[in-house]
Amino acid sequence: MDSRICVVVLSCLFGLTCADPVKYVDCGSATGKVTMVDINPCASQPCQLHKGQDYSVNVTFSSGVMSTTSTAVVHGIIAGVPIPFPIPVGDGCKSGIQCPIQKQQMYHYQTTLPVRSEYPAIKLVVEWELRDDDKKDLFCIKFPVQIV
Ligand SMILES: *[C@@H]1O[C@H](CO)[C@@H](O)[C@H](O)[C@H]1NC(C)=O
């Protein structure tokens, strides 16, 4: 067995990081291109987000533009209505991205998604955008989650 696969399998067995790429839909990445979305922990899909727990989000993307800033905008879409979803750090440049963002370079946007205990236990779609200097989307992804 490939040693990388082996590590993943062993981590899964011990309930550690068992990061399967998250199935997402691109919702209009204009100035960048997403290659992978990871949410941890997320053992099955749609990801089950437990109230009171923190999740790490890791979006791998390449940029098609130069940008000195990057701003995350997150919404939870409930029954078709986008509702702002607060995240602790909205600045992409403080979330694993070294700014200024360079053209044709690959980045890992890494942040934390806290699931507050007062959230309702529902299924929803999370829409995550990262905007460049011109407020265009370096990426826009959507993925379903279930709050439990
Ligand atoms: C994010 O994903 C990339 C690509 O799989 C990986 O190299 C990097 O270590 C990940 N970062 C974290 C904090 O998990």
- Which domain, by its residues, includes 50? 19-147
pLDDT range class, residue 10, cuts 50, 70, 90: low
Q: Work out the mean pLDDT of the chain and round it to a whole number.
A: 91
* Nearest ligand 1 atom, CA 58: 1
Residue nearest to atom 4 of ligand 1 (CA): 60
Does some domain include residue 123?
yes
Residue 58 lies inside a defined structural domain of this protein: yes
Q: In this structure, is residue 85 part of a structural domain?
A: yes
**Domain-embedded: residue 88:** yes
And the tokens for 11? 């981590």
Predicted structure pTM score: 0.86
pLDDT in tens, 51-65: 999 999 999 999 999
On whether residue 75 sits in a domain, the answer given is yes
Q: Go through 86-100 and write b for each residue having 16 or more CB atoms within 10 A of its CB, e for each that does not.
A: ebeeeebbebebeee
Task: Report pLDDT digits (tens) over 54-111.
Answer: 999 999 999 999 999 999 999 999 999 999 998 999 999 999 999 999 999 999 999 9
User: Which residue owns the Cα nearest ligand 1 atom 13?
Assistant: 110
What total number of domains does the chain contain? 1
Centre of ligand 1 to C-alpha 110, Å, is: 8
Q: What is the CATH number of the domain that holds 121?
A: 2.60.40.770
Rounded to the nearest 10°, the torsion over CA 72, 59, 62, 129 is: -30
